[in-house]
């Protein structure tokens, strides 16, 4: 059985790396905007160009992410037909408002527990389980912060800079989560294949 998520996941990693680079540039340019405005005036065109590029990259990244998470759960159900989240269920947990507050946590915590059930991916599952609270809190925090900035008539410039830094940290954390998931699934597949072969040898 070939895993369907690997190619899409590798593309997602590339876009996340691009997002990290662009996010780092935006955090820097907005720092200059807030505290060294004379310098910012010299590089304002960079900020403008990167902002547009970043918006396009994130739109594409979101689409790739949804495709990837669907394929991940397709593979998980093939590896374990009793896996509790279906491919469509994973999409619903992400895109449905309010439900996604629970859904995001549920997706990754369920994966973490499943990885911990296998000897060779126990450490990956444990690490993912430790990362999830930070990712979740940061995700909610950046959402609230960004919405408050947009809603404010006169945004606090310090919060503006902080929001870009937190967005960057969030992407970095998510990148490592994706990397761990991509690493774990082939290991589980190999472990299950080896187990099936051993069972067949015993039966024969």
What tens digit of pLDDT does each residue of 59-93 get? 999 999 999 999 999 999 999 999 999 999 999 99
Look at residue 48 and tell me whether its pLDDT is greater than 90.
Answer: yes
**CA-CA distances (angstroms) from residue 170 to 136, 138, 142?**
9, 6, 8
Write the DSSP assignment of 151-187 as a string of letters: H-SS--HHHHHHHHHHHHHHHHHHHHHHHHHHHHHHH
Look at residue 198 and tell me whether its pLDDT is greater than 80.
Answer: no
In a domain, 16, yes or no: yes
Domains: count for the chain: 1
Question: Residue 27 in contact with residue 170, Cβ under 8 Å?
Answer: no
What tens digit of pLDDT does each residue of 13-36 get? 999 999 999 999 999 999 999 999
Please state, in angstroms and rounded to a whole number, the distance separating the CA atoms of residues 192 and 136.
31
In a domain, 203, yes or no: no
Q: What is the CA radius of gyration of the chain?
A: 20
201 pLDDT band (50/70/90 cuts)? Answer: low
What tens digit of pLDDT does each residue of 140-187 get? 889 888 888 888 777 788 888 999 999 999 999 999 999 999 999 999
Range of the domain at 116: 5-193
pLDDT at 204: 61
Look at residue 1 and tell me whether its pLDDT is greater than 70.
Answer: no
In a domain, 154, yes or no: yes
Which of 137, 11, 117, 116 minimizes the C-alpha distance to 63? Answer: 11
pLDDT at 134: 92
- The pair of structure tokens assigned to 57 is 């990259």
In a domain, 198, yes or no: no
In a domain, 78, yes or no: yes
């Amino acid at each position: 059985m070939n895993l369907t998520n690997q190619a899409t996941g590798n593309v997602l990693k590339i876009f996340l790396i691009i997002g990290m680079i662009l996010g780092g540039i935006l955090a820097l340019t907005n720092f200059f905007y807030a505290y060294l405005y004379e310098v910012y005036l010299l590089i304002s065109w960079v900020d403008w160009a990167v902002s547009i590029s970043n918006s396009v990259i994130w739109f594409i990244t979101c689409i790739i992410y949804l495709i990837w998470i669907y394929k991940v759960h397709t593979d998980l159900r093939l590896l374990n037909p009793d896996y509790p989240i279906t491919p469509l269920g994973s999409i619903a947990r992400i895109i449905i408002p309010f439900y996604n507050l629970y859904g995001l946590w549920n997706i990754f915590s369920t994966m973490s527990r499943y990885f911990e059930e296998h000897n060779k991916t126990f450490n990956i599952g444990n690490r993912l389980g430790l990362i999830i609270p930070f990712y979740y809190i940061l995700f909610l925090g950046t959402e609230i912060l960004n919405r408050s900035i947009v809603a404010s008539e006169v945004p606090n410039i310090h919060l503006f800079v902080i929001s870009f830094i937190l967005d960057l940290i969030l992407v970095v954390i998510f990148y490592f989560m994706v990397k761990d998931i991509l690493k774990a699934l082939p290991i589980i597949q190999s472990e299950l294949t080896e187990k099936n072969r051993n069972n067949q040898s015993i039966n024969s």
